Structure 1
């Protein structure tokens, strides 16, 4: 749903471009693999930035900043997956174009959960089509049959458009229907545990093994030294 190109902020400051692709929603292991690829280990390098964002929802990438939370974006991507396939993604796309509740990833998460506050009329892409839709489909106004040919549907559609919080989009005409918008998500403390996937890579097993071997060697060294002293003493006694 959301494909990110993430980069190592520290390496970028040093003049080195280190980037990796991360597709959301993702698992913690996938995030760790991407961070490991660009050298972000939580010790020498901790900060990342979003170099590029791609998504099938037009206009959405432009709403995502360079330093967004991976966990929040993971939550948004998971919500968009649930909308795909039942027309919900089309409505979300149109709602993003309308521009309400799109100022932050937090807003977008809430928008994805409040699409019942919007009505989408597919195929209605201009004022004349809106006029016909409102009269023929919504029965908003009864036009006597003998004057239907003279009625200005475009003007009626224009009046409707101007009196609603609405927009013509590639997916059709969308308008705010006045429903109650509920803030389900108020910040990162509300983030469901399954969407908390950001974690630095674990220390490599090989590194731990080497350190353990060196420790064992250091601990064994004094014992070996004592043994030589004892042997030498035995030789003198002879």
Structure 2
């Protein structure tokens, strides 16, 4: 299982305007001392350089962090990620994000367990086949399975559960 990670490159805005790139990669965790990290790049209250911006983001979560994302928002993201670590893996969470696109909503879905995730299901045929194999339609004799239209089974299920294919598999959101 891969660990969740988010890193941001904090940049001193005042120095940047002056033509200097002064910044630092910072891990977004609940242990991060943001005042110290900002101080390390010369951003301090009551100085010539009081503002920062985020120049780059490195993460394995399909989350958008803008250049002017606040420190409070980064702290909130760090806390949410720490809760997610114990209940869901990165690929499953990214699949929920692919279907939902809003981090806070995807977080709530993951925390509440309001989803079903099928790994390595790439299309409606694969989904229908997986549903039949897992007994979703009850027990079906092996001699009858060759007559089933797996693609239609998968499509109907996808429509009925408000599901969606992602880059990682299929997610049904409830």
Instruction: Give the total of aligned pairs.
Output: 167
Which aligned segments of 4 or more residues in structure 1 are displaced greater than 6 angstroms?
none
Question: Within the alignment, does 1:113 sit opposite 2:111 as a pair?
Answer: no
Per-residue CA deviation, residues 128-170 of structure 1 (Å, 9 max, x unaligned), is 1210122221423665544321222123212322444222224
Question: Within the alignment, does 1:168 sit opposite 2:165 as a pair?
Answer: yes
Structure 2 unaligned regions, length at least 5: none
Which structure: greater helix fraction?
Answer: 1
State the 1:56 CA deviation. Answer: 2.0
Question: Within the alignment, does 1:132 sit opposite 2:135 as a pair?
Answer: no
Question: Within the alignment, does 1:38 sit opposite 2:41 as a pair?
Answer: yes
TM-score (norm 2): 0.81
Partner secondary structure for residue 150 of structure 1: coil
Change (3 A) 1:146 1:70: same
Which structure: greater strand fraction?
Answer: 2
Question: Within the alignment, does 1:55 sit opposite 2:56 as a pair?
Answer: no
Structure 1 unaligned regions, length at least 5: 103-107, 178-238
- Distance in structure 1 (CA, Å) of the matches to 2:28 and 2:49: 22
Change (3 A) 1:52 1:156: same
For the Cα contact (< 8 Å) 1:11–1:18, is it kept in 2? Answer: yes
For the Cα contact (< 8 Å) 1:24–1:73, is it kept in 2? Answer: yes
Query: How well do the aligned residues superpose, as a CA RMSD in angstroms?
Result: 2.3
State the 1:67 CA deviation. Answer: 0.7
